[in-house]
Structure 1
Amino acid sequence: MTAPHDASGVHTVIGVDAGTASLREADHLVHDLMARLGLPPGTLACTHLVRTDERRGTAVSLALPDAGPAAEVWRRIAGLEMPGLGAALGALVYGPAPAARSAARVATEHAGREGGRAVVFPGAEHLTGTVTVADLLDRTAVERLTVIGAPASPDGPDPATPVLTRDHVRPEWQRGRLTLALVPAAGGALAPFEVPNPTPCCADHA
């Protein structure tokens, strides 16, 4: 099955480091930036772990579906009142050097599809309650499913298998494809490997 939301259409990736420590904080930052920057539908926003001599924490990347709005989004980033904020868009950098460097690093990682945990992605609004494997792949940008602890199958799980989303689905870039790791659940269903901690993040953003 081929997802209609083709992530290969992404043209512009902006990296942002606002000093968040945990993935949960980075999830909140993603939703905050989506609202404050007025990012367009189709934006694919990821969190990234940052582990360098300068920084231990998380940063985010924002992949715009069209390069056109990039200049306006960049202008809005410069207007955000976030002390210590660093950002990067191609050769453009903003903010303190360490934060700008980590922002550039995660933007490059996302643009190359080498890493990034997607929090906002096309079709994510469909992933509430229980959905089937077929619907998950057909209606979202998720391109590949893996089931941890199960024998690898070139065709993936049965399309009719129910997936208990728990309203918390975080696929990751792996080998150039947006991939969701699943685990077996009760009654022959599947569920995302990452569980809400302690409750679904940013429910008020839904």
Structure 2
Amino acid sequence: MTPPVRTPYDLTPYVLTVDAGVRDLRGADHLLRTFAAELPVSDGGFGCTHLVRGERPRVAVSLTLESGEELDDVRARLVALGYEVAEGVPDAVGRAVLYPGADVLRGTMSVEEVLSRSAIDRVAVLGAAGQPDPAVRLVTRDHVRPLWQSGELVLSAMPAVGGTLVPFEVPEPTPCCADH
């Protein structure tokens, strides 16, 4: 029998989702950072974005908290601020913005440092089989957004100049149809 896949939300049953009608990832990132600054959210939790498809595409955010007390306090404050809050998450493939160690992933560091200093479980290089050498340097661009995949927090990276790697997601993407 295959063991069940671990999701980020198996780490704790204390998860809330806020669907504030945000339409882009940058806005959702900003909302999560605002929550982290203004709410009693512990450093050991996670803040993820989730794409909501359908008639009204948007980006919801989830907060994975460390205790029932923290969950109750954060929920009460969010409701008082006018947000609609739901228990649980819309899916198990969130894009992590807030996670343990996210604040130290700055500048250039080795893959080994990324893995040892943060909650990221693995670095996957696009188009490459296996894991990158732990000594390979990753130029973070101060924007590291790993995704939950099969119960692991995985950073997708791509080869860059001088044998380095960079995160696949760029910090300032060019909007689609920007030249139209």
Please classify the TM superposition score into its range, dividing by the shorter chain length: 0.7 to 0.9
In 2: Cα distance, 1:11 partner to 1:87 partner = 15
1:118 maps to 2:99: no
* Alignment gaps of 5+ in structure 2: 1-7, 175-180
* C-alpha displacement of 1:21: 0.4
- Equivalence for 1:142: 120
2:26 counterpart (24, 39, 43): 24
- State the AA in 1 paired with 2:66: P
Identical positions, percent: 47
Query: By how many angstroms is 1:65 displaced?
Result: 2.3
Give the alignment's TM-score, normalised by structure 1.
0.76
The alpha carbon displacement at 1:38 in A equals: 2.1
The match for 1:74 is 75
Report what 1:15 is aligned to: 17
Matched, 1:128 2:69: no
Match of 2:142 among 151, 158, 167: 167
Please tell me the residue identity of whatever aligns with 1:41.
D
The residue identity in structure 2 corresponding to 1:120 is L
Normalised to the residue count of structure 2, the TM-score between the two structures is 0.86
Cα offsets for 1:67-120 (capped at 9, x unmatched): 331111111111114xxx321125xxxxxxxxxxxxxxxx152xxxx2110011
Partner of 1:101: none
Within the alignment, does 1:88 sit opposite 2:63 as a pair? no
Q: Residue 71 of structure 1 aligns to which amino acid in structure 2? A: D
Amino acid aligned to 1:39: V
> Cα RMSD over matched residues?
1.7
Paired residue total? 166
Q: 1:187 aligns with which of 158, 162, 165?
A: 162
- Cα distance in 2 for partners of 1:163, 1:58 equals 28
Return structure 1 stretches of 4+ with deviation > 4 angstroms.
none
Q: Secondary structure at the match of 1:170?
A: coil
Where in structure 2 are the equivalents of 1:89-104 lying within 5 Å?
A: 89=87
Q: Residue in 2 aligned with 1:204?
A: none
